[in-house]
Amino acid sequence: MAGMRNDRILERKVFYAGAKIFNEGDSGDRAYLIQDGQIEIIKHGMTIATIGKGELFGEMALVDDQPRMASAKALTDVSCIIISRDSFREKLAKADPFIRGLLNIFVRNIRNLTR
């Protein structure tokens, strides 16, 4: 129909229990929103968090283009919505510059705390 906006279809992905989603030090081109299941976040070989439904992970690499600061592994079968770098940047470009600045500061502070 004329005048209708073409929305992107969200990509969904399933990771099976035990699957590595990404490794510490990898470059990051996507973030993940957990729809179902649990993920283990690992830094220097130690579990630092277990997260589940409704939680986001992998987002920091999208904000500051730095390597992944931790690894992510599926503890159970996990269903995720994928947020691509392009989609994230498109949304962020529309945000208030003050909010973008705060987001960059938050990410930098978190990275500094976890080194």
CB of 71 closer than 8 Å to CB of 25: no
Q: Which pLDDT belongs to residue 23? A: 97
pLDDT of residue 8: 56
pLDDT of 113: 75
Residue 6 is predicted with a pLDDT of: 43
Residue 73 has what pLDDT? 99
Q: How far apart are CA 95 and CA 84, in angstroms?
A: 17
Residue 101: its pLDDT value, please? 85
Q: What is the pLDDT of residue 12?
A: 95
Cβ contacts of residue 78 below 8 Å, gap of 6+?
14, 15, 34, 36, 37, 38, 39
pTM: 0.80
The confidence score (pLDDT) of residue 7 equals 52
What CATH topology corresponds to 11-113? Jelly Rolls (2.60.120)
Residues in the chain, pLDDT under 50: 1-6
Cα separation, 28 vs 40, in Å, equals 17
- Give the domain ranges of the chain: 11-113
